[in-house]
């Protein structure tokens, strides 16, 4: 079946450090891929998405590239800020027996220190 695997957290970085959060997926066909961010006490916000192989999603300095050959969608940011502290969820939309559903990874907590 379809699944998403994220790196275990928490990830703790100093401000202005480089961020990578790994995400790999298993799916049939060509799923759309997403990163969502959840700040403390809030709902999920769409951060970026990519709908086909080699697409790069980007937003607010974050980027992720849809790599079909490695079935990955790693999230990167060149210089993190304290305000980026949150939980990041990788997700895909894929079909299981003709029914399309969102499949979320377990989430990676990011803590950025000043």
> Site residues (CB under 8 A) for another protein?
32, 34, 36, 41-46, 49, 51, 89, 93, 95, 99-102, 104-107
> CB-wise, 20 or 51, nearer to another protein?
51
| Minimal distance, residue 54 CB to another protein, in Å | 17
> CB-wise, 77 or 107, nearer to another protein?
107
Give the Cα separation of 63 and 57 in Å (integer): 6
| Minimal distance, residue 67 CB to another protein, in Å | 18
| Minimal distance, residue 79 CB to another protein, in Å | 26
> CB-wise, 11 or 17, nearer to another protein?
11
């Amino acid at each position: 079946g379809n699944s998403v695997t994220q790196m275990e957290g928490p990830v703790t970085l100093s401000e202005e450090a480089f961020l990578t959060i790994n995400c790999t997926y298993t799916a049939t066909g060509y799923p759309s891929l997403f990163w969502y961010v959840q700040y403390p006490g809030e709902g999920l916000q769409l951060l970026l998405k990519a709908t086909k192989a080699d697409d790069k999603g980007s937003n607010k300095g974050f980027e992720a590239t849809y790599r079909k050959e490695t079935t990955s969608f790693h999230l990167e940011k060149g210089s993190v800020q304290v305000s980026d502290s949150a939980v990041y969820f990788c997700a895909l939309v894929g079909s299981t027996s003709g029914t399309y559903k969102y499949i979320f990874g377990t989430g990676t907590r990011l803590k950025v220190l000043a």
